[in-house]
Amino acid sequence: MTIRVRVEGLRDLDRALGRLKEATAKGVLRRVAVKALKPFDKAWRQKAPHLTGNLEESGGVGTKLTRRQAQMNRRRDDRAFVEVYAGPNDPAAIPEEFGWENGRAQPFVRPAWDETKHEALEIVKRELGPEITRTAARAARRAARGGGR
């Protein structure tokens, strides 16, 4: 499931990101996104049905998918695009979340997202500016030393 969020009013931050190298800007976005999804990660783990403990121990927040998940996910060809994933990677999460013919659904991922999505957006708004500033300062120091990567 892909959820798109449109945020308006961050034009200055977008310009500041544009002044960074592409790889550096992607790193900034990746770090902020991972930080923003931490509350969601904690929430779904608390809501997950506890049978063996495997479900709540699976998954997490990151940029990598399992091989099975990668086959099901269509990646965008946009090189300036950053994708960060959060949630369980245990295949048992799907029937738990949506139910199956012999069992009722026990949703835990969607309710966790509904509870934390606004907090995630607030974290992005709060953390993106300072992260861009820190990264730009680090890049400037590196350029002044003459050791740019």
Q: Which residues contact 36 (CB under 8 A, 6 or more apart)?
A: 120, 121, 123, 124, 127
Tell which wins on pLDDT, 92 or 7.
92
pLDDT of residue 118: 92
Instruction: Give me the residues paired with residue 126 across strands.
Output: none
The per-residue pLDDT for range 68-127, each reduced to its tens digit, is 777 777 766 665 578 888 989 888 888 889 998 888 898 999 999 999 999 999 999 899
Smallest Cα–Cα separation from 106: which of 48, 56, 55, 54? 48
Q: How many percent of the chain have pLDDT more than 70? A: 87
pLDDT of residue 1: 59
Tell which wins on pLDDT, 33 or 8.
33
